[in-house]
Amino acid sequence: MQKKILLLTIAAFVLVFVALYFTISDSDYKYLSKNLKVSHLIYNPDKKLSSFSLIDHNNNKFENENLKDEWTVLTFIYTHCPDVCPTELMNISTLKSKIKKSNSSFMPNFVVITFDPIRDTPEILKSYVTHFDEDFLGVSGDQNQIDQLVKDFGAYYERVMYSDSGELILIPNYEKIPPEAMENGYSINHTAWVYLVNPGGQIHAGFPAPHKPNDMLEDIKLLVDNY
C-alpha cells in the first residue's frame, strides 16, 4: 500500500513538473511572439530539417552541417524572377548593412537557395547573388532535395508557362519540364519568405513579405537574445 502511495506521489510530482515546464515554455513563446514586429516564431525543437547535400556557388558541398553553429538568414529565389526576388535580395542586403552598422558582434550567414536548379547552376547563381552582396552564398543542386527543403520550410512554388494561344499552363513539380517550356521559358510563382535558422540548424523564425529591414533587425536581435 505504501509503495502504491509512493508511486502515485511521484507520478503526481512528475505531472506537476511537466505542466509547470510547458506553462513556462508557453509563456516564453507568447512573450516573444507578442513582441515580434514583422516575424513569426516557428521554432520547434522536435522538428529537424531533412538531410540534404547540395552545391554552393563555389562548387562546394552544402549540407545540414553548414547551417549549424551560427545563425543563418535564408531565402528561396530563382534568377529569372522579374521583380519579387530582386526586391527580396535588396532588402536582405539592406538588412545586412544595418546589422553591420549596429556595432554588434553578431553577423549571421546569408544563404540563397534556388527553386530552379535546372537553370540556376552554381556559376549563374554566384554571378546573380553576389551582385546584391558579395557575402551572399547561392545554393543549387538536386531538385528533389531542394523540393524537400522547400517543404520543410513551409515554402511553396509552381512552374507555369503559356501555350501558343496564350493559355496559362501549370507544370507540376513532379513532372519533367516540357521541351517547349525549356525553349520558350517559364515562370515560377512562389512564396517570398525570409527565414532565420538557429545555430542548431533548425528553422527558428520566418519573415513574410513585404520585408522591412529595420523591423527585421529588431526582431532578429530579440530572437537571438532569447535563444
Q: What pLDDT digit, counting tens, does each position of 12-71 carry? A: 433 333 333 333 356 577 778 889 999 999 999 899 999 999 999 999 999 999 999 999
What global pTM score does this model have? 0.86
Block residue for cell numbers 545586412: 96
Block residue for cell numbers 513582441: 35
Question: Which of 94, 95, 96, 128 has its CA nearest to residue 112?
Answer: 128
Position with higher pLDDT, 61 vs 104: 61
Question: Which of 73, 103, 99 has its CA nearest to residue 88?
Answer: 73
Q: Taking CA 187 as the corner, what is the angle to CA 183 and CA 191, rounded to the nearest 5 degrees?
A: 155
**Count of other CB atoms within 10 angstroms of residue 36:** 18
Longest dimension (CA), the chain: 84
Question: Which of 90, 72, 74, 181 has its CA nearest to residue 128?
Answer: 90
What CATH number matches the domain at 40-156+191-225, 3.40.50.2020, 3.40.30.10, 3.40.50.620, 3.40.50.300? Answer: 3.40.30.10
Residue 103: the pLDDT is: 81
